[in-house]
Each structure stands twice: as structure tokens, then as C-alpha cells.
Amino acid sequence: MTSTKPMDWKLELVPLPVSDVDAAKEFYIEKLGFRLDHDVTTGAHFRVVQLTPPGSACSICFGTGIVKTAPGSVQGLHLVVSDIHAARAQLVERGVDASEIRELGPGIFFVFFKDPDGNSWAVQQITPQSRIPMGEQS
């Protein structure tokens, strides 16, 4: 066996099951501020809408003929922000039913919300002082 340089494995696209593609597209663009990357239809049974959160290297996609899982079945997707208070304020201002800010550990803050189908999201802020230095993890 030869030694090779480790390859990068980047998560760049997460498919979401939705019941109404246009309503989902409007929610993610208008309410969350995601950028529209693609909206492509190739026939009556295939459409893909790809959107990217501001500042993210990973996108989401949904459409027709994309996934076979039930709409709303994706749970616990995380968006990471540097200011949880500003993030929650922005969500509420845009009409998103966002939870109150919860501290789930010292310096680890979350806000939770769902898309129109019930796919759930967490917005997370981890303060620098709450991070465990490398080598000290158990």
C-alpha cells in the first residue's frame, strides 16, 4: 500500500425534501436571505433549486425528482453565526418563527426554527471561551 496525501472531503450540498418548491424557494430567499444559485427544470419530473446561506461554502437544494424522503423529515441542520442575538433579530424581522435564545452549555447558544415543511434548523453561536483546545478533548 502506498502512502498518498490525504484528500479533502468537503460537504457542499445538502438535499432537503419539500412539498412546494416555489414556497420553499421563497422562504429560503426572502426569510433567510439565502442566495439563489440555480433553478433548473429539465422536463416535467425534474427541477433543482440550489441556494447558499450567506458566507457558507455548503448549499442546500430541493426540487422535483431530487429526494424520495418525506417533506419535513430533515432535522437538526445547523447554521453557525458569530452573533446569535443579531441572527435571531434578523430572523424575527423577516417573519421567521424563531425560538428564544437558549444557552445549552457554557458559551454555546442556539436559536431554533423550521421551514414551511417542518425541516428543522438550529442557529448556533459558540463563543471562543467555550471551545476545548485541541488535545484536551476526551
Q: Does residue 89 fall inside a structural domain? A: yes
Q: Give the model confidence (pLDDT) of 15-50 as tens digits.
A: 999 999 999 999 999 999 999 999 999 988 999 999
Q: pTM, whole model, 2 decimals?
A: 0.87
Q: Does residue 111 fall inside a structural domain? A: yes
Q: Does residue 20 fall inside a structural domain? A: yes
Q: What is the mean pLDDT of residues 42-63?
A: 96
Q: How many structural domains does the chain have?
A: 1
Nearest-angstrom CA–CA distance, 109 and 4: 39
Q: CATH number of the domain that 76 lies in?
A: 3.10.180.10
Q: What is the mean pLDDT of residues 53-57?
A: 95
User: Where in the sequence is the domain holding 65, given as residue range(s)?
Assistant: 13-130
Q: Does residue 97 fall inside a structural domain? A: yes
Closest to 66 measured CA to CA, from 26, 19, 28, 23: 19
